[in-house]
A and B are shown apart, each in its own frame.
Chain A
C-alpha cells in the first residue's frame, strides 16, 4: 500500500491512526471530517470555542478624520482617511463612538487613565496604579480553562512592560516582544500537533506533574506564617502553579484534530539592527505582522482562548526614521497645518495604526474554521487611551469590537454612545463572551446596561 495514494478515510480511521496499521507518521490533510456536518462544532460534538482578544494602539484618532460621528445607533460605519484601511472589513466590526469616561474627581493621568478606566471600569487614583482586573482576565476566568495558556500577551514595540492586561498594579506580567521567543513558547517541544496521528505523550510529564504537586503541598505548610497581603500573593502563586500543572495535563491528552491548526514557519532571529530600531514605525509594522500570524495560529490551535496584542504603547514611543519627534511628541508639538486643519505627521502615524488593525483582522479572518473564519469565533476589544491625543481628551475614546464572537455579536454597526459611560462597551463585550456579571465598573463608570443592539 502506498502512502501517496489518497483514498477516502473515515473519521474513525484518522482518529485511531490506523492507516496502514501501526503509528501513522505521514502528514494528514486537513479534513472536513474533523468537524460535524454543520461545520459549527468539533467532531466530538463540542462547539467551536469562542475566544477573546484585545488590540491596542496609542494616541487615538484625529478628529473628523477617522469615523463619521452619528447620533443614532444603526448599521453602517463611515470610515474616513485615517481609517480607510478598515473599509474592506466594515462588516467584521462595530464601532463605538461618543462614550464618556468620567473620572470622579481623579486626575486625568495623561495617556494612562484612559486605558485603565476603559479596561478595568475604574478610574486610577495615581499614575501607574491599576485599581481592578482588566476585562480580558475577567473573560479568561470564565472561558480560559482547558487551553494550554491562560492568555498570551504580545507587543510589537519591544517593551515587555507595555502590557495592558493586569489584575492590579503589581500583577501585570510581561508581554512577549520577540517573535522567536513567542514561537518557541507556543510551538516548542511541549506543543502537540493536533493533526498528527502518532500522538505519544512524554512519559516524564506525569513525573514532572507529580514532583510539582509534591512541592506545592510542601509549600502550603508555611502559608500560615504569613501576613494577609503575603498570603494573597501566595494564593496567586498557587494559582500560577495550577496553570503549569494544567499545561502538563494538557500535554498528556491527545488534542482534538483541528483543521484550522497549521504550524506557522519559525520566524528569523531579529538582527541587532532590528533590535536597535524596534520602535521605528516600519519595524513595528513588520514585527506586528509576524507576531500576529504566530498568535492567530496559537488561537486557532486552541493553545489559548485569550490573546492580547499591543501595536503601539500608550505613550506611543514610536518614531519615523530621521524624524526628531516620536509619535507622542508630535501629537503635542506638531503645528496644526492650517490648510488641512490637523497635524499631518501625527495623522501619518494614526493611519499606520489603523493599517495595523486591518492587517490583524485580515490575518484572523484568513484562517478558516468551521464554515467561517477564526475571526467569526473571536471577539476583539480594540481601543486606545485617548480620543484626541493632542489635548489628552478621554471622552469619546474610540473602541472597536471586532469579530462575531461565535454568533453572539452583531458587526457592521455604528453605536452612538450619547455620552454614556464607556464601560457599557466593556460590559457588552463580556456579556457576549458569557461572563456572568450583571454590572461592571465603579462610581460613575458603573453600568448594568450592555448594548443590546449588538448582542445576539
Chain B
C-alpha cells in the first residue's frame, strides 16, 4: 500500500482547489436547518481507538460492551439511541479500572504522566491537576471545566492520602473519568449563534468530534482541539485546513475502514459459523483473512488509488494470504505468510468485492449458499433498498414435494415464485443472488450443485445478466449504488438519517459525488466541509427522517431460504 501516495496528494490538493472554485462560482450548498443536538454512545471500536491513541497501543483493553442496534442500516445511527444498561456500566467500569491500573504501572506512569509527584506516598495536587487537565481534554474531547478538574483532583487526593499512594489516586480518579458520560457519549454541545439571529450552533469542540469520528474513528487530536479552542474551526479556511490535514493522515484508512465495517455489516463475522465437514477449507483464521481482504481491497481502491467507488464491484485487484489461497485455489508465494497483491485475470469469474469470500460466506448458511440472503444483502446494503419482512403465514408444504426433490438453489427457489405471498419478496432478492450461485457457502468456485450444472443467469431491475461477472457490472452501473453510499456516509457521520429538510442537500451531495468521478475521499471532503454536517437547531420541532426506519432487521442471521 502507499505506492501512489504522491499522486493522491496531488489529487487531494486539486480537489480542494476545485471545491473552493465551485463554491466561488455559485455551486452553493443548499441551506439546511439541522436537527436537534443529541448524543451517541461510543462504539466498541471507538472506545478501543481512543484508549490506544491517548495512552498507547500497548494498553490492553478487553471488554465487550452492550451491542448497538443496527438502525437504518447502520450501528452508528443506533448509537444515537443506545443507553448504558446496568450490566453495560459494570463492563465499562471493569474495563476502566483495568485501563487506569495499566496507565499508572511502573514503566507507563513515567511516560503517560508528564509530571512526577513530589511525594509518592500521598497527594500531589499540582501534578494531579496537570494530569487530569491534559488527559481529561482528550477523553472528554474538550477542555474540562474547573469544577470537573477539581472533582478529579480532590478524588485523587483523597485516595492518595488514604492509601498513601499518589498513583492509586490517579488510578481511581482516572477510572471515574473513563466512566463519565462525557467520555462514553459523543455529545452535541451547542452554543448560541454568533450572529444576532436566534438559534444554536455546535460548539467548535463538538464540530471537532464530529469531524474526527467520521474521518479517523477516534477522539480529536491535539491539533484539532487547538483549532477548536482558537476558533479556527469556525472559519471556512480553518475547517478546510483541518479536513485536508486529516484526509492526508494515515488514520483516514482507519476511519474509512470503520465506515465500511458498519455499512457492510461486517460485525456479522463475530458470529459467522460454517460446518467444517462440509467446508474443510473453512476456519476462523480464514474468516478473519476474508474480512481483512475485503477491507484491504476497499482501502486500496478508494483511498490509495482514489478510484471510482462503483468500480469496487468490478475491480479485479485485491490482496490474498495463504489461507485465502485455499479458497481461491491460488498459489500464495509469500514465505512469511503475509499479504500479497493479486489481480484476478480478466477471464476469471471473480470480479469485485461481492465475489470475495467475505460477502459470499457472510450471506450463506452454515452448510450451503443462499441466493436469497445474498440478493437481500445486495438490495439492502449496497443499494439501500428495503426488502419486506417475510410473511408469517407461508404454507411451506408447497415446497415439500418428496417426489420432486429440488437439486439446485434455482430449483428450490423457483417454488417460491409460484406462491403469491412469497413471490413479491423473492423476486426482489433471488434473481440477484442466483448470479452468485457459482460460489458455494464459503465462496469457493463451483460449476455444479448435486451434479446439476449451475445456471448463474438472472436480472437486476430489468437488466439481464449471464453470470456473476456481468452481475457485478450491473451493480456497478446501478444508479442506487453511489447514492446509497453517499447517503449512508452522511448518516454515519451525523449519527442519523438525512431529514426531509435535507433532501436538496442530499441531491447536491450526490451530484458533487458524481462530478468528482465518484471519489469517496472527495465525498468525505464535501461532507466534512459542508454546513449541513454541523447544522443543529433548538429542539422545539421534530423533523421526520425520510429514510425508512428498519430497526435491527439485519441482526437476524437467517430468514427464509
Please report the C-alpha to C-alpha distance between residue A222 and residue B276 in the assembled complex, in whole angstroms: 53
A276 proximity list for chain B (CB < 8 A):
273, 276, 283-284
Asked if A325 is at the interface (CB within 8 A of a chain B CB), the reply is yes
Verify B558–A126 contact, CB threshold 8 A: no
Verify B284–A272 contact, CB threshold 8 A: yes
Given known contacts A107-B389, A333-B396, A127 and B154 CB-to-CB distance under 8 angstroms: no
The residues in A between 154 and 208 inclusive whose CB is less than 8 angstroms from any CB of B are 158-161, 167, 169-174, 204, 207-208
Verify B89–A244 contact, CB threshold 8 A: yes
B37 proximity list for chain A (CB < 8 A):
227
B174-207 vs A, CB cutoff 8 Å, 1 = contact: the mask equals: 0111011110000001000000000000000000
Given known contacts A317-B557, A324-B278, A324-B368, A277 and B273 CB-to-CB distance under 8 angstroms: yes
Chain B: minimal CB distance from A196 (Å): 23
Verify B151–A214 contact, CB threshold 8 A: yes
Chain B: minimal CB distance from A262 (Å): 24
Verify A174–B69 contact, CB threshold 8 A: no
B390-401 vs A, CB cutoff 8 Å, 1 = contact: the mask equals: 111111110111
Asked if B105 is at the interface (CB within 8 A of a chain A CB), the reply is no
Chain A interface, number of residues (Cβ within 8 angstroms): 84
Please report the C-alpha to C-alpha distance between residue A236 and residue B278 in the assembled complex, in whole angstroms: 46
Asked if B163 is at the interface (CB within 8 A of a chain A CB), the reply is yes
Verify A170–B82 contact, CB threshold 8 A: yes
Verify A247–B181 contact, CB threshold 8 A: no
Chain B: minimal CB distance from A172 (Å): 7
Interchain CB contact (< 8 A) of A159 among B173, B271, B275, B560 = B271
Please report the C-alpha to C-alpha distance between residue A113 and residue B278 in the assembled complex, in whole angstroms: 33
Asked if A13 is at the interface (CB within 8 A of a chain B CB), the reply is no
Asked if B172 is at the interface (CB within 8 A of a chain A CB), the reply is yes
Verify B392–A113 contact, CB threshold 8 A: yes
Verify B155–A172 contact, CB threshold 8 A: no
B158 proximity list for chain A (CB < 8 A):
207, 210-211
Please report the C-alpha to C-alpha distance between residue A324 and residue B274 in the assembled complex, in whole angstroms: 10
Verify B93–A230 contact, CB threshold 8 A: no
Interchain CB contact (< 8 A) of A333 among B65, B176, B399 = B399
Please report the C-alpha to C-alpha distance between residue A111 and residue B559 in the assembled complex, in whole angstroms: 9
Asked if A79 is at the interface (CB within 8 A of a chain B CB), the reply is no
Asked if A98 is at the interface (CB within 8 A of a chain B CB), the reply is no
Verify A211–B176 contact, CB threshold 8 A: yes
Given known contacts A110-B392, A319-B367, A234 and B181 CB-to-CB distance under 8 angstroms: yes
Chain A: minimal CB distance from B301 (Å): 30
Please report the C-alpha to C-alpha distance between residue A319 and residue B276 in the assembled complex, in whole angstroms: 12
Please report the C-alpha to C-alpha distance between residue A145 and residue B93 in the assembled complex, in whole angstroms: 20
B182 proximity list for chain A (CB < 8 A):
219, 222
A207 proximity list for chain B (CB < 8 A):
158-159, 162-163, 172
Asked if A252 is at the interface (CB within 8 A of a chain B CB), the reply is no
B38 proximity list for chain A (CB < 8 A):
227, 229-230
Chain B: minimal CB distance from A436 (Å): 22
Given known contacts A107-B389, A210-B158, A174 and B67 CB-to-CB distance under 8 angstroms: yes
B412 proximity list for chain A (CB < 8 A):
333
The residues in B between 206 and 242 inclusive whose CB is less than 8 angstroms from any CB of A are none
Given known contacts A107-B391, A109-B389, A272-B284, A237 and B163 CB-to-CB distance under 8 angstroms: no
Interchain CB contact (< 8 A) of B179 among A113, A129, A215 = A215
Interchain CB contact (< 8 A) of A214 among B90, B154, B367 = B154
Name the segment of B4-12, B498-506, B548-556 touching the other chain: B548-556
Please report the C-alpha to C-alpha distance between residue A321 and residue B180 in the assembled complex, in whole angstroms: 46
Q: Which residue of A lies closest to B178 (CB)?
A: A215
Verify A219–B180 contact, CB threshold 8 A: yes
B132-158 vs A, CB cutoff 8 Å, 1 = contact: the mask equals: 000000000000000110011011001
Asked if B117 is at the interface (CB within 8 A of a chain A CB), the reply is no
Q: Which residue of B lies closest to A113 (CB)?
A: B392
Asked if B87 is at the interface (CB within 8 A of a chain A CB), the reply is yes
Verify A128–B552 contact, CB threshold 8 A: yes
Asked if B308 is at the interface (CB within 8 A of a chain A CB), the reply is no
Chain B: minimal CB distance from A242 (Å): 8
A204 proximity list for chain B (CB < 8 A):
163, 168, 172
The residues in A between 86 and 134 inclusive whose CB is less than 8 angstroms from any CB of B are 107-113, 126-129
Verify B561–A333 contact, CB threshold 8 A: yes
A230 proximity list for chain B (CB < 8 A):
38-39
Verify B176–A329 contact, CB threshold 8 A: no
Chain B: minimal CB distance from A422 (Å): 16
Please report the C-alpha to C-alpha distance between residue A321 and residue B279 in the assembled complex, in whole angstroms: 11
A229 proximity list for chain B (CB < 8 A):
38, 81
A420 proximity list for chain B (CB < 8 A):
none
Verify A170–B83 contact, CB threshold 8 A: yes
A-B contact pairs, 9 of them (CB 8 A): A170-B82, A211-B175, A212-B93, A215-B180, A227-B38, A233-B81, A233-B84, A237-B84, A321-B277
* Top 8 A-B residue pairs of the complex, sorted by shortest distance between their CB atoms: A128-B552, A108-B392, A324-B367, A240-B89, A215-B176, A243-B86, A128-B551, A173-B85
Residues of B within 8 A of A (CB): 36-39, 64-67, 69, 78, 81-90, 93, 147-148, 151-152, 154-155, 158-159, 162-163, 168, 172-173, 175-177, 179-182, 189, 271, 273, 275-278, 283-284, 365-368, 389-397, 399-402, 412, 539, 549-553, 555-561
| Apart from the given pairs A322-B277, A392-B392, A392-B394, 6 other A-B contacts in the complex at a CB distance below 8 Å | A161-B67, A167-B85, A174-B87, A215-B151, A218-B180, A329-B558
